[in-house]
Amino acid sequence: MNPTLGYLGLGNMGQPMATRLVDAGHTVVVRDINEAAVKPFMERQVKVAASGKDLADNAEIIVCSLPSNKIIREAVLGADGLIEGSKMRVFVNACTTGSPFAEEMNQALAARGIAYFDAPISGGPSGARDGTLSVMTSGPREIHDEIEPYLRAYGTTLVYCGEKPGLAQVLKLANNMLFATNILVTSEVMAMGVKAGLDPETMITAISAGSGRNSTIDMIMPRSVIPRTFDFGATIEIIMKDVHLALEEGEAQGVPQLVSQQTRQLIQLAVHRGWAQKDLSELAKLVEEWSGTEIK
């Protein structure tokens, strides 16, 4: 008999990921404090849990997509949290939290006989909607083998990193550090080209087929910056959180991070300007402002 799945956190990533689990025919229970977020599931007769405990009283395997370690800790370990539920036996962390937090959660859940498993994702909201996410995993191999079919409802690339809690988190932070840096450096070179007289679409065609190709060239520039929609689907605050975690990880490993530090300073500038809730594609506006041109 297939287990009941729980999904905690129905934001920009959680909403489409949970939807794909429902579309795949799995029995799913969802939980979010935002009534608008749960409404589409209610309309499909998907059960909505009244609390974290209620979710864990009804679902054996729970996937979590929440925006910060503080919120996750409260939702899982706090009063009326998941850990108080009677049915949950596997907690799947789809968030970007860093490895120390992963170990903290692993120990807390293990004390209650609950398995902790990392499964952070990459690919943005469009990848979640299309089911083409990259999923990085770490934890007990037998848990990976059990939940792999569910992860494939929203991910086409699954990379198992090993049994140690947090290994997948390190890989996800490496990915997001590259992503954050690519946004800024790609904005710089695009502004340079446009100001010199190049058409931005011409630049994208050439770069996407060359050695400079990156996710900003593939997704953010053509879909959000050039059309001026700035609607990638994640906030500057979220990428700032990930950059902080990546630098903490690098510092713990004794790795020099000169370029990454510069990336953090630039994104922090945007946060200090009051841009924390703006779409991360709007980081390009920093470069546009300083260069006196628009990438369009």
**136 and 221 inside one domain:** no
* Structural domain harbouring 81: 5-164
Q: Is residue 234 part of a domain?
A: yes
**149 and 234 inside one domain:** no
Residue 39: give its domain's CATH number: 3.40.50.720
34: left (phi over 0), alpha (psi -120 to 50) or beta: beta
Q: Is residue 145 part of a domain?
A: yes
Q: Is residue 272 part of a domain?
A: yes
Which pLDDT tens digit goes with each residue over 249-269?
Answer: 999 999 999 999 999 999 999
Q: Please check the confidence at residue 150 and state whether its pLDDT lies above 80.
A: yes
Residue 209: give its domain's CATH number: 1.10.1040.10
pLDDT value for 233: 92
Which pLDDT tens digit goes with each residue over 151-160?
Answer: 999 999 999 9
**157 and 10 inside one domain:** yes
Question: CA-to-CA distance for 106 and 108, rounded, in angstroms?
Answer: 6
Q: Which residues of 214-234 are buried (b: 16+ CB within 10 A; e: fewer)?
A: bbbbebbbbbbbbeeebebbb
Nearest alpha-carbon partner for 240 in 269, 267, 216 = 267
Cβ distance 191 to 291 under 8 Å? yes
Q: Is residue 61 part of a domain?
A: yes
**143 and 240 inside one domain:** no
Q: Is residue 204 part of a domain?
A: yes
Q: Domain count of the chain?
A: 2
**198 and 154 inside one domain:** no
**115 and 259 inside one domain:** no
**184 and 43 inside one domain:** no
157 forms beta bridges with: 134
Q: Is residue 49 part of a domain?
A: yes
User: Last residue of some domain: 117, 136, 164?
Assistant: 164
Cβ distance 284 to 295 under 8 Å? yes
Cβ distance 92 to 119 under 8 Å? yes
For helices 258-272 and 284-291, give the axis angle rounded to 10 degrees.
80
Which pLDDT tens digit goes with each residue over 164-217?
Answer: 999 999 999 999 999 999 999 999 999 999 999 999 999 999 999 999 999 999
Nearest alpha-carbon partner for 135 in 153, 120, 117 = 120
136 forms beta bridges with: 159
The structure's pTM equals 0.94
Work out the number of other CB atoms within 10 angstroms of the CB of residue 245.
23
**201 and 72 inside one domain:** no
Model confidence band, residue 1 (pLDDT cutoffs 50, 70, 90): confident
How far, CA to CA in Å, does 17 sit from each of 23, 65, 79? 10, 9, 26
**178 and 139 inside one domain:** no
**160 and 175 inside one domain:** no
**90 and 197 inside one domain:** no
**80 and 14 inside one domain:** yes
User: Last residue of some domain: 129, 164, 199?
Assistant: 164
User: Last residue of some domain: 137, 164, 191?
Assistant: 164
Q: Is residue 296 part of a domain?
A: no
